Amino acid sequence: DDEDSSIKLKKGDQSGTRILVLGRAHRIRKQKDVIFVELKDGYGKMQCVFAGDVAKTYDAITLTQETSMKIYGELHEVPAGATAPLGRELHVDYFWIDPAWKAPGGDDALSTRVAPDADPNTKLNLRHLTLRGDTASSILLVRDSVEFAFNSTYKELRMRKVSPPALVQTQVEGGATLFEFQYYDEKAYLTQSSQLYLETCLPSMGNVYCIEKSFRAEKSLTRRHLSEYTHVEAELDFITFNELLDHLEYVMCTVLKKVMDEPETAAIIKKLNPSFELPQQPFMRMKYTEAIDWLVKHEILTDEGKPHEFGDDIAEAAERKMTDAINKPIFLTHFPAPIKSFYMQKDAEDDRVTESVDCLMPGVGEIVGGSMRMYDYAELMQAYKNSDIDPEPYYWYTDQRRYGSSPHGGYGLGLERFLAWLCNQHTVRDTCLYPRYMNRCTP
Ligand code: 4AD
Ligand code: MG
Tens digit of each residue's pLDDT (9 = 90 or more) over 227-244: 999 999 999 999 999 999
Residues 6+ apart with CB under 8 A from 225: 216, 218, 428, 437
Split at pLDDT 50, 70, 90, the class of 7 is: low
Decide: 411 and 358 in contact? Cβ < 8 Å: no
Please say if the pLDDT value at position 384 is more than 80. yes
Given the CA of residue 234, which atom of ligand 1 is nearest to it? 12
User: Which amino acid would we find at residue 407?
Assistant: P
| pLDDT for the residue numbered 86 | 67
- The pLDDT of 131-143, averaged and rounded, is 95
User: Could you tell me if the CB of 366 is within 6 A of ligand 1?
Assistant: yes
Please say if the pLDDT value at position 5 is more than 60. no
Segment 275-321, tens digit of pLDDT: 999 999 999 999 999 999 999 999 999 999 999 999 999 999 999 99
Other Cβ atoms less than 10 A from the Cβ of 98: the count is 10
Structure-model confidence comparison of residues 165 and 75, the more confident one? 165
Split at pLDDT 50, 70, 90, the class of 88 is: confident
Split at pLDDT 50, 70, 90, the class of 372 is: very high
- How far apart CA 36 and CA 48 sit, in angstroms, is 6
- How far apart CA 226 and CA 219 sit, in angstroms, is 10
Mutation test of ligand 1: which of 231, 323, 374 has the most ligand atoms closer than 8 Å to its C-beta? Answer: 231
Split at pLDDT 50, 70, 90, the class of 4 is: very low
pTM of the model: 0.95
User: Could you tell me if the CB of 44 is within 6 A of ligand 1?
Assistant: no
**SS3 call for 371:** strand
Residue owning the nearest CA to atom 27 of ligand 1 = 225
Four-residue CA torsion sign, 222, 224, 230, 233: negative
| pLDDT for the residue numbered 13 | 64
* The domain over range 130-430 is classified in CATH as 3.40.50.10490: no
Split at pLDDT 50, 70, 90, the class of 1 is: very low
Q: Report yes or no for ipTM above 0.95.
A: yes
User: Could you tell me if the CB of 233 is within 6 A of ligand 1?
Assistant: yes
User: Could you tell me if the CB of 373 is within 6 A of ligand 1?
Assistant: no
Residue owning the nearest CA to atom 18 of ligand 1 = 414
- How far apart CA 220 and CA 402 sit, in angstroms, is 39
Considering only CA atoms, which of 138, 130, 133, 190 is closest in space to residue 164? 190
* C-alpha 225 to ligand 2 mean position (Å): 12
* C-alpha 412 to ligand 2 mean position (Å): 9
Please say if the pLDDT value at position 100 is more than 70. yes
Find residue 411's DSSP bridge partners. Answer: 234, 370
Considering only CA atoms, which of 281, 256, 241 is closest in space to residue 411? 241
Segment 158-199, tens digit of pLDDT: 999 999 999 999 999 999 999 999 999 999 999 999 999 999
CATH number for the domain whose boundaries are 3-108: 2.40.50.140
- The pLDDT of 32-61, averaged and rounded, is 94
In order of 136, 166, 291, 320, 436, the CA distances from 224 in angstroms are: 17, 22, 21, 11, 12
Decide: 409 and 235 in contact? Cβ < 8 Å: yes
Q: Which ligand is nearest to the CA of 417?
A: 1
In order of 39, 41, 130, 268, the CA distances from 133 in angstroms are: 13, 12, 6, 14
- Ordered by start, the domain boundaries in the chain are 3-108, 130-430
| pLDDT for the residue numbered 43 | 87
CATH topology identical between 3-108 and 130-430: no
Segment 350-366, tens digit of pLDDT: 999 999 999 999 999 99
| pLDDT for the residue numbered 3 | 43
| pLDDT for the residue numbered 79 | 79
Residue owning the nearest CA to atom 4 of ligand 1 = 369
Helix (H) or strand (E) holding 212: strand 208-215
Given the CA of residue 235, which atom of ligand 1 is nearest to it? 12
